[in-house]
Structure 1
């Protein structure tokens, strides 16, 4: 069914399809990139990021950051030199639209689905795959991840191999933020669905074989949206905010997701040993991204969860008269046995896209890096002009800040330096608001507020958002 909103949709009026967020269509290879400064000699690997990038001008609707085709942007670094390649994640929908030369699927809110003869009978009436949010590597597989669907496996030159179902065991897919336990090598995942079972979790072993699940999460009897998760040695941690799917309303021209604050927010602590789920309940809040979680006592105690909190779910650019959505960095302490939860706001700055050194996932961490806003005029939701670092051992809530000036920065990713594990670098893509040029920034972890030691010029603009990772050469074979 095509709604009135879909019929009147004008892509030119969508903020996240313009400016620094505007999609690019050129696929570029450049062997020797210009570097301002000096790339550290000990950096050897691939910086790779995925994000929403519609192949053709959208029809019907466009809802950032959920809609859009995936595009991978990769910079290979070795010996102080860098090279670049970007490629679309070529799902069946992207291939069909390339053959047609135009968009055939509408955005998620429009419910526009293609018919024959525009597409093959196998694709007629289907929803498009959207592996446009994150990209991870596990067991030698490079995976472009969707919000809650099958990932797409990518080849060493960023070509698309196809859907990854993990041997057919996870046909419904996973969500975009799995967590890899650095001690066990296991990748823990979850998946939400519009039909029962509404929420499941699974364990993928170090070799890529599913060794647990999919296991339904008991106590979830409605479809709801969950974007991220956290991990401790004992638990998979899921935050169930009151963002419920309403497909009936969507097919009638209403909102696809409704916010019901009266339901509150629940936290599920799912024992990794298969025991019963432990629940805690609090007033309503939303989170896009967790920072990390850990047990206060090894194998015991409370669970500490740090995350970026928002007052409610908001998608796309704010509309006129939309209510404020304050947020900030929050630490929650959850009692697995008493079901209580105590939240402390550590900072109320405008921040998002938090990352730590991923080698500390599930254990207590020290440094948190986030993209941050400085109050500059004209920045859209999801656009930031600084990077902030919190020292969790400081105890005062103070932070270090690097102001990026005319640059809009993305998610900061930690790249460990080889050796004893004490050093490393923070890396992110950034786009200059004055000339639309894009750069890869390399910032030393031991003096981050001094800013980049190297800026690598990217030959194509990299649209802002969303997620990626650093893949050291010794741990992958993805250099083309």
Structure 2
């Protein structure tokens, strides 16, 4: 049953306009214009998925969760580049394309079409939103949603259909799975509005489910969890006090309630299926983890992540441009599963997000990481918009920081493309999309891994504007 429609003006929603505005044209282009010199060792494809409503939303729009998926791809080889973008065509999008308009409302509106509009199968169902991330595992290219079934894509970005992993994971997986570089296993979780509220699973390197949905003991209410981390021993899930409230949503209120008095809990879930270990802390929210690894001596876990004081979606106040040393910034937590405690250290209190490392270092101590950042210089940046990149070298005593001010460019998540044949995390290049705030042109930037603060060695002109956000991946060409 649909909730009553409320007044909604998409032209007044910041994340539906300007540099975040969706694009509807699907484009193929070869021979991209390149400023500078594209490194010869970059041979592969950079893919990025993000919210991109096919039609003007109705009822509500909640960035960064709402919106159809669109994957942008830049193929690089022998100093040349080509581009293609494609929608992730779910059955709901196909129905809307047939109608020529949006039929499902945004998440907060609870507007669901009936059988007279979309048929019995889709009637009164929630719209799939595989618009957050894109990863490849076991030969499958997956467009990922927030705790829902991913959609499988072809190498040319055609939509092949919903992926349930041979029916073993019908409820779906997280938008941020983690793959162990040593074992090839992909660990996932899924939260739900009904019991069991939180489950975890493991998919083997052959794509087969090795452990089906396993409930996490101690979770008795539905909570939102965006990201996870993985160590050689544990899945690491941070359960901030963001609780779903469907009753409130059906009555015009928020479908998420922030309850700081509950505090934040961290679950260490043994990968061998052992008893979940819990640690407790004061309330905080995280969108994204950097990485986690086991301490060699005392059985603890080190977790790096970006910390926020609370969850607030959609409104400009969601991400205040402040430096709050007590609550906000790049943070390291040391989790003691025996004592159930968390010790935290601030690594940087700048406004940063979208952290990435060399993915080959996942589950082990990482020495370098990158983030999108706020230079503090530009006015008018929206939540989720950044005008600088920062890199942290944590191999030495303390933390060494490098930064590149992007000037008039708004930049996205930096993704590392390692140089083939080397294991060093500074041998390679960082890739990110950027949009010029003066003319809305978009570019793929290529920055050197050994000295990224010097700025891009190559800028590739993208033939369409790439809306800001969210996550991407580098897939090297297989030899």
Report the TM range for the smaller structure's normalisation. Answer: over 0.9
Instruction: Please give the alpha-carbon distance, in whole angstroms, between the structure 2 residues aligned to 1:360 and 1:201.
Output: 22
Matches within 5 A, 1:357-372: 357-372=358-373
Instruction: Please give the alpha-carbon distance, in whole angstroms, between the structure 2 residues aligned to 1:261 and 1:421.
Output: 42
Instruction: Please give the alpha-carbon distance, in whole angstroms, between the structure 2 residues aligned to 1:455 and 1:122.
Output: 46
Are the aligned partners of 1:25 and 1:55 in contact in 2 as well (CA < 8 Å)?
yes
Q: Tell me, what secondary structure is at the counterpart of 2:478?
A: helix
Instruction: Please give the alpha-carbon distance, in whole angstroms, between the structure 2 residues aligned to 1:129 and 1:302.
Output: 37
Question: Does residue 109 of the first structure (1) align with residue 108 of the second (2)?
Answer: yes
Identify the residue that residue 317 of structure 1 maps to in structure 2: 315
Identify the residue that residue 405 of structure 1 maps to in structure 2: 407
Q: Which structure 2 residue ranges, 5 or more long, are not aligned?
A: none
Instruction: Please give the alpha-carbon distance, in whole angstroms, between the structure 2 residues aligned to 1:323 and 1:46.
Output: 34
Are the aligned partners of 1:16 and 1:317 in contact in 2 as well (CA < 8 Å)?
no
Which of 432, 436, 446 aligns to 2:436? It is: 432
Give every structure 1 segment of 4 or more consecutive aligned residues whose post-TM-superposition deviation is greater than 4 Å: 1-4, 319-326
Render the CA deviation track for 1:252-299: whole Å, top value 9, x for unaligned: 11110000000000000000111100000000000000000001118x
Identify the residue that residue 223 of structure 2 maps to in structure 1: 224
Identify the residue that residue 331 of structure 1 maps to in structure 2: 332
Instruction: Please give the alpha-carbon distance, in whole angstroms, between the structure 1 residues aligned to 2:476 and 2:317.
Output: 42
Instruction: Please give the alpha-carbon distance, in whole angstroms, between the structure 1 residues aligned to 2:166 and 2:399.
Output: 46
Question: Does residue 395 of the first structure (1) align with residue 397 of the second (2)?
Answer: yes
Q: Tell me, what secondary structure is at the counterpart of 2:15?
A: helix
Q: CA deviation at 1:3?
A: 5.5
Q: CA deviation at 1:394?
A: 2.9
Identify the residue that residue 348 of structure 1 maps to in structure 2: 349
Are the aligned partners of 1:239 and 1:268 in contact in 2 as well (CA < 8 Å)?
yes
Q: CA deviation at 1:117?
A: 2.3
Are the aligned partners of 2:306 and 2:328 in contact in 1 as well (CA < 8 Å)?
yes
Render the CA deviation track for 1:186-226: whole Å, top value 9, x for unaligned: 00000000000000000000010000121100000000000
Which of 465, 468, 472 aligns to 2:469? It is: 465
Instruction: Please give the alpha-carbon distance, in whole angstroms, between the structure 1 residues aligned to 2:237 and 2:257.
Output: 19
Instruction: Please give the alpha-carbon distance, in whole angstroms, between the structure 2 residues aligned to 1:295 and 1:321.
Output: 31
Render the CA deviation track for 1:65-100: whole Å, top value 9, x for unaligned: 000000000000000000000000000111011111
Are the aligned partners of 2:305 and 2:332 in contact in 1 as well (CA < 8 Å)?
yes
Q: Tell me, what secondary structure is at the counterpart of 1:455?
A: strand
Are the aligned partners of 1:431 and 1:462 in contact in 2 as well (CA < 8 Å)?
yes
Q: Tell me, what secondary structure is at the counterpart of 1:297?
A: coil
Q: Tell me, what secondary structure is at the counterpart of 1:439?
A: strand
Identify the residue that residue 381 of structure 1 maps to in structure 2: 383
**Which deviates further from its counterpart, 289-298 or 246-255?**
289-298
Identify the residue that residue 32 of structure 1 maps to in structure 2: 31
Mark the CA change 1:137 to 1:320 in structure 2 (over 3 Å): closer, same or farther. closer
Instruction: Please give the alpha-carbon distance, in whole angstroms, between the structure 2 residues aligned to 1:320 and 1:291.
Output: 21
Question: Does residue 454 of the first structure (1) align with residue 455 of the second (2)?
Answer: no
Identify the residue that residue 302 of structure 2 maps to in structure 1: 304
Instruction: Please give the alpha-carbon distance, in whole angstroms, between the structure 1 residues aligned to 2:84 and 2:318.
Output: 39
Instruction: Please give the alpha-carbon distance, in whole angstroms, between the structure 2 residues aligned to 1:420 and 1:268.
Output: 35
Instruction: Please give the alpha-carbon distance, in whole angstroms, between the structure 2 residues aligned to 1:235 and 1:138.
Output: 20
Matches within 5 A, 1:197-236: 197-236=196-235
Are the aligned partners of 2:2 and 2:124 in contact in 1 as well (CA < 8 Å)?
no
Question: Does residue 52 of the first structure (1) align with residue 54 of the second (2)?
Answer: no
Q: Tell me, what secondary structure is at the counterpart of 2:116?
A: coil
Q: Tell me, what secondary structure is at the counterpart of 2:170?
A: coil
Are the aligned partners of 1:371 and 1:410 in contact in 2 as well (CA < 8 Å)?
yes
Are the aligned partners of 1:201 and 1:214 in contact in 2 as well (CA < 8 Å)?
yes
Q: CA deviation at 1:393?
A: 1.8
Render the CA deviation track for 1:217-248: whole Å, top value 9, x for unaligned: 00000000000000111000000000000001
Q: CA deviation at 1:301?
A: 2.5
Q: CA deviation at 1:314?
A: 1.3
Give the paired residue count: 473
Identify the residue that residue 159 of structure 1 maps to in structure 2: 158
Identify the residue that residue 98 of structure 1 maps to in structure 2: 97
Mark the CA change 1:263 to 1:386 in structure 2 (over 3 Å): closer, same or farther. same
Q: Which structure 1 residue ranges, 5 or more long, are not aligned?
A: 476-480
Are the aligned partners of 2:388 and 2:410 in contact in 1 as well (CA < 8 Å)?
yes
Are the aligned partners of 2:186 and 2:203 in contact in 1 as well (CA < 8 Å)?
yes
Are the aligned partners of 2:37 and 2:457 in contact in 1 as well (CA < 8 Å)?
yes
Q: CA deviation at 1:421?
A: 2.4
Matches within 5 A, 1:124-273: 124-273=123-272
TM-score by length of 2: 0.97
Q: CA deviation at 1:320?
A: 10
Q: CA deviation at 1:327?
A: 1.4
Instruction: Please give the alpha-carbon distance, in whole angstroms, between the structure 2 residues aligned to 1:51 and 1:21.
Output: 10
Q: Tell me, what secondary structure is at the counterpart of 1:174?
A: coil
Identify the residue that residue 478 of structure 1 maps to in structure 2: none
Are the aligned partners of 2:312 and 2:318 in contact in 1 as well (CA < 8 Å)?
no
Q: Tell me, what secondary structure is at the counterpart of 1:96?
A: helix
